[in-house]
Amino acid sequence: MKKNLFVALCLLGAMPAFAGLPEAPVAVVPTPAEVPCTLTLQYGIMHTDFDETVGPNDMYNARYRSVPSVLYGFSIGAQWKIAENEKYSQHVGASIGYYTGSQEQRWYRDTIIDTTVDAYPILLTYNLEYKVNDKLSIYGGVRGGAIVRDTSIKGVSVGDEISDTVVTPMLSVGVGARTFITEKLSFDLGYDFGFSFGEDCGLSSSDGLPPWADSAGSDCRYYGTIKAGFSYSF
């Protein structure tokens, strides 16, 4: 009886093969694996708002720029992919940058005034990215946070330097393109344009500075930054 039962079980197990039934599917692990985080390091040139005035009673009609109009620096950021389909993906992240610029001008022929601005944008980011092909993606999004702006004016007299540091809110938009060198390394080119809100410098002529220092601060200043660098995903 046991022998007959064993033979019957063997025949039942072999029936799918004799009947030509397909074998059970084998699970396939997708490759390459998705990369959740991207680090970006970029060099940037920032064009920013400034005022230009004529000195009082200046016989040469000389023009004085209150702050430098171009700053140079870099930024570093990280972003994480939160959703995607075949062509589009969404990313959230954060970035911090450092940009600096200075200018030298002569005040009443005798005194050289050196004005320096250091700017530190600290931003949260959101990007929507479109995959053009395996080698190229384009993206656009919004950035929001704050900018730390330090304005320093020195040379009023020998050894004098007066500075002011202010933190103001900042909101901007950005676009860019990413071309892949390898699967994980890419070259990035982008442009951000935004505004800071609130008086960003409290220096004035009452501090012993030339009259044009009164316009060193602005309650709404624009920043336009072109950036180029590399991204690495892992």
Give the residue, 113 or 189, on which the prediction is more confident.
189
Note whether 167 and 196 are within 8 A (CB): no
pLDDT tens profile 163-188:
999 999 999 999 999 999 998 999 99
pLDDT tens figures, 79-106 = 999 998 989 999 999 999 999 999 887 7
Indicate the pLDDT class of residue 56, thresholds 50, 70 and 90: low
Tell me: the pLDDT tens digits for 183-233? 899 999 999 999 999 999 998 888 878 777 888 899 999 999 999 999 999
Q: Mean pLDDT, to the nearest integer, of 41-54?
A: 89
Q: Is the peptide bond before 32 cis (omega within 30 degrees of 0)?
A: yes
Res. 113: pLDDT tops 90: no
Cα–Cα distance between 193 and 174 in angstroms, integer? Answer: 6
Hey, which residues does 161 pair with through a beta bridge? 154
Would you state the pLDDT for residue 112? 75
- The number of CA neighbours under 13 Å toward the Cβ of 84 is 14
% of the chain with per-residue pLDDT over 70 = 77
**What pLDDT was estimated at residue 159?**
60
Of 208 and 22, the structure prediction assigns the larger pLDDT to 208
Question: What is the spatial distance between Cα 89 and Cα 38, in angstroms, rounded to a whole number?
Answer: 13
Per-residue model confidence (pLDDT) at position 156: 64
Higher-confidence residue of 6 and 40: namely 40
